[in-house]
Amino acid sequence: MNSERVLCVDDDQQVRSLIQRVVLEAGYECHGVGSVNDARELLAQEEFSVVLCDIGLPGSSGLELLDELGRTRPDIATVMVTGHDHVGIVDAALKREEIPLEGRIAAVADVFDALSSDRPYRPRLTLNEARTWILEGSGKAFDPKVVDAFVRSLQSVAA
């Protein structure tokens, strides 16, 4: 078993159990809790390398925990997840800049890579099609400042 420890914070017991099982099968120790307060208590007592946290939780929001960990425990990688198909949650996180800059950059780069690569279920998009797709997500799924910088750098590479 790997020495890295993962904390899963999700109020849905089934989701939490599934994530714990997958993480354990991957060779990592995983603990699960159902609220931000429970996560705070466990984080005060034990060391974790990664926190997987649902955004929508009863009481304190997962975004609050993300902000708190960013200030007090920058050594812990934090991954935010949500099962809700509601763009407003992502929009709120982007506006509050609670997603670290590195994560906002990685989101654009990862999607661009996926769009511009062949997949078993579809051929790759052209650079222009992928660029357009990223631009359409600006301010919705992606930080507009990151998209602007990405498009500028893409133009200099394509030139």
Statement to judge: residues 88 and 124 lie in one domain: no
- 155, pLDDT greater than 80: no
pLDDT of 114-145, one tens digit each?
Answer: 888 887 888 999 989 989 988 988 887 788 88
Statement to judge: residues 14 and 92 lie in one domain: yes
Supply the mean pLDDT for the chain: 83
pLDDT of 30-54, one tens digit each?
Answer: 999 999 999 999 999 999 999 988 8
pTM tops 0.75, yes or no: no
CB burial of residue 147 (10 Å; 0-12, 13-18, 19+): buried
CATH code for the domain of 71: 3.40.50.2300
pLDDT of 111-120, one tens digit each?
Answer: 888 888 887 8
- Quick check: helix, strand or coil at residue 37? helix
Question: How many structural domains compose the chain?
Answer: 2
Tokens at 156, concatenated = 């200099």
Single out the residue in 99, 114, 135 at which a domain terminates.
99
Q: What range defines the domain where residue 87 resides?
A: 1-99
pLDDT of residue 157: 67
Of the candidates 42, 107, 89, 30, the one whose C-alpha atom is nearest the C-alpha of residue 69 is: 42
pLDDT of residue 91: 61
